[in-house]
Amino acid sequence: MQNFDVVVIGAGPGGYVAAIRAAQLGFKTAVVEKEYLGGVCLNVGCIPSKAMITATHLLHKAQHSFADMGLNIKGGIDVDMKKLVSWKQSVCDKMAGGVGQLLKGNSVTILKGSADFKSPKEITVKSSTGTETVQAKYFVVATGSRPIEIPGFKFDEKDIMSSTGALALDEIPKRVVVIGGGYIGLEISSYLRKLGTEVTVIEAQSALLAGVVDPECAQVVTRKLNKAGVKVLYGAKAKGQKKVKDGYEVTAEINGKDEVIKCDKILVTVGRRPNGDQANLKAAGIQVDERGFIKVDAQRRTNVPHIFAIGDIAGQPMLAHKASHEGVLVAEVIKGYNRVYDAKQVPAVVFTDPEIAAAGMTEAEAKAKGFNDLKIAKFPFAANGRAVSMMETEGFVKMIADAKTHVLLGVHIVGPEASNLISEASLAIEMGARIEDLALTIHPHPTLGETMMECAEATLGHAIHIIQKPLK
């Protein structure tokens, strides 16, 4: 039997961060991981998908923009899919290896195996070499989530895939049906289309990314997908699939009528569910709600005082950076720091083409919270010199502020490098910044970041590089 001060169950972006911070604070710490260090994010989620998106973005640019720049490529560009996937995997392996070095460098014990609670103070760790018992004063549950499987579409990760299988294809599929037009489905759809795959998206809502991002931002991405040739079936429900000689036939119900779509592969991206049914939480007396989330307080403490939960298992939003933030928080709470989860906002990014990023409230959310008098403006990337030089001018920065106080409430970006630009907005909202704080901050030229300053000026009614109606 091994004894520790802190044992973290799960080595994803929440778990490994919690383990490192706990060790930094002087605790004898262990982390238990049944699959791979870095979890879903580093191995079959965030990192591999961004690698594939980056590669296909460069491919698309070479095929469609280079000639306009005077960069002529003789002949076509051959895609070696096996080499591409191998490169993608090397990125994942490098990141996961880095996590391993960080854990060891901070003297965190890595226990490989599957953890189950035996009692509130004890777990068993089962691996290929046997089962051992581990005790700890504190436990942190960071067991994450998994893709939702729908009836009639059981994952085999070869032909009927979750995001995991879609990021490990060894050849370019000719036709793919994507069930679910959320951010994961659209990110993968975008990269597959750039490889030449015929993509059909089955979406139950009347719009893509409905309720997920600002509607105007979603419209820009929808137009780009349409232009790229991605077919979207709205108000559609996947009913079933049938294996046929040349692939699969997927039946979708649209407005009460069945439509059959032929394809080679099926990708199901209808969301993720928390792993509340794992780790034998019941044996520790941990309360789990009807959706599978562990109930936690503002310090991410469960109903069992010495057990904490972070990341996807602890509730929405199910995002890696939120999990990492909670990981640090929990370690410091265990140490005795006076900390609670009090983030004003959690930024979110959708790596479509173009990217969408958001921090803070949408217009609808602001009004629902009583902000009825708002200042709202947009600044287009088409008016930004750096975006023009990159030949990536689609989209805009949109800001929402309280008209009375000028305090920034929300920023929504659709366009090039939105994922990098949103951090300034996150900081501004956390600090309670006013629009003037952004407008009066000198931004370097020529950069995409200038759009933040210019949008703030537009929100105040006096943008320089777009023509606005005179102030009332």
Active-site amino acid positions: 445
Helix (H) or strand (E) holding 390: helix 385-390
Residue 50 φ/ψ, nearest 5 degrees: -70, -35
| CB-based burial label for 234 (10 Å; 0-12, 13-18, 19+) | middle
Q: Residue 56 and residue 372: Cα distance in Å, rounded?
A: 43
CB 237 within 8 A of CB 136: no
Residue whose C-alpha is closest to residue 412's, from 368, 365, 447, 371: 365
The arrangement of strands across the sheet holding 374-380 comes to 348-350, 355-360, 408-415, 396-402, 374-380
Q: Give how far Cα 367 sits from Cα of 55, 214, 373, 458, Å.
A: 40, 14, 8, 21
Q: Cα(48)–Cα(350) distance, rounded to whole angstroms? A: 14
Place of tokens 């795959």: 197
In a 3-state reduction of DSSP, which class is residue 123?
strand
Q: Sign of the CA dihedral 165, 166, 172, 175? A: positive
Contact (CB, 8 A) for 13 and 3: no
Cα radius of gyration rounded to whole Å, the chain: 24
Residue partners of 203: CB distance under 8 A and separation at least 6: 180, 181, 232, 233, 234, 235, 236
- Distance in angstroms (rounded) separating the CA atoms of residues 72 and 343: 49
SS (H, E, C) 45-63: CHHHHHHHHHHHHHHHHHH
Phi, psi of 7 (to 5 degrees): -120, 125
Q: What are phi and psi of 236, to 5 degrees?
A: -115, 145
As given in the structure block, the two tokens for residue 302 are 């469960």
Task: Supply φ then ψ for residue 453, to 5 degrees.
Answer: -65, -45
225 touches 186 (CB < 8 A): yes
Q: Name the nearest CA neighbour of 108 among 36, 1, 34, 15.
A: 15
What is the C-alpha separation between 38 and 95, in angstroms, rounded?
Answer: 8
Q: Is the dihedral of CA 162, 163, 167, 173 positive or negative?
A: positive
Residue 78 carries which side chain, given as an amino acid letter? D
